[in-house]
Amino acid sequence: MKVFINPGHAQGGQPDPGALNDFYNLRECDIALAIGKLVQGFLSKAGCEVKLLQSHNLAGEAPEYGESVIDASSSWGADVFVSIHCNAFDTTARGAETLVYDLVGDGHALGQCIQNQLVDAMQKIDPTFPDRGLKRRPLLCVLRATPMPAALVECAFIDNDLDDKLLMTRQTEIAAAISRGVTDYWQKLG
């Protein structure tokens, strides 16, 4: 299986670091990249071919940056595409959610496998960690323009204190769960 990993937001945070947490000096782009590299390691060990490319062009809003992540994944012939992000809202919201193009089909199945593993892993650490489920986001180019099944996982909220602790100290568990979700999906296909 060829897995394309796309950590969210710009490489090095320029021009777009994603969501920020000034108290802990966290940037979404750094956490997404760290988790993405760990996923790359886990899936490589599991026998997958893995390519990783960070991109900030989430909704096709930066044509000069190219839909390079779309082109790169399709020309490489990826079987699945996984974008990795952190959420942010009002400091009180918590939990994981996975965004998919539609609530049917292969992308949805991939997203559900990832969501199930991630929520299960985080609830083992913190039973109050919420399962926010799957959400339909047809306008995101990483979900709309990718020809292979694609899912975007919002691992946890970067602006919530409890979720922050998971994002800072449990990156290995988060990455292992995302990796298991990908291999679960692949095994279901038979």
Q: Render 31-81 in DSSP notation, one character per residue.
A: HHHHHHHHHHHHHHHTT-EEEE--B--TTS--GGG-SHHHHHHHHHT-SEE
Among 7, 35, 57, 85, binds Zn ion (CB under 5 A): 85
Q: Which stretch binds Zn ion (CB under 5 A): 48-56, 70-78, 82-90, 161-169?
A: 82-90
Shortest Å, Cβ 36 to Zn ion: 12
Extract the tokens encoding 130: 């919420």
Whose CB is nearest to Zn ion? 85
Site for Zn ion contains 7 (CB under 5 A): no
Q: Which stretch binds Zn ion (CB under 5 A): 2-10, 49-57, 114-122, 139-147?
A: 2-10
Shortest Å, Cβ 45 to Zn ion: 27
Give, to the nearest 10 degrees, the angle between helix 105-125 and helix 171-189.
Answer: 140
- State residue 41 phi and psi, 5-degree precision: -65, -45
- Spatial separation of the C-alpha atoms in residues 96 and 33, rounded to whole Å: 17
Shortest Å, Cβ 127 to Zn ion: 26
Site for Zn ion contains 8 (CB under 5 A): yes
Tell me which residues in 11-40 interact with Zn ion (CB under 5 A): 18
Looking from the CA of 42 toward its CB, the CA atoms found within 13 Å total 20
- Beta carbon nearer to Zn ion, 8 or 111: 8
**Residue 17 near residue 65, CB atoms below 8 Å:** no
By CB under 5 A, name the binding residues for Zn ion.
8, 18, 85
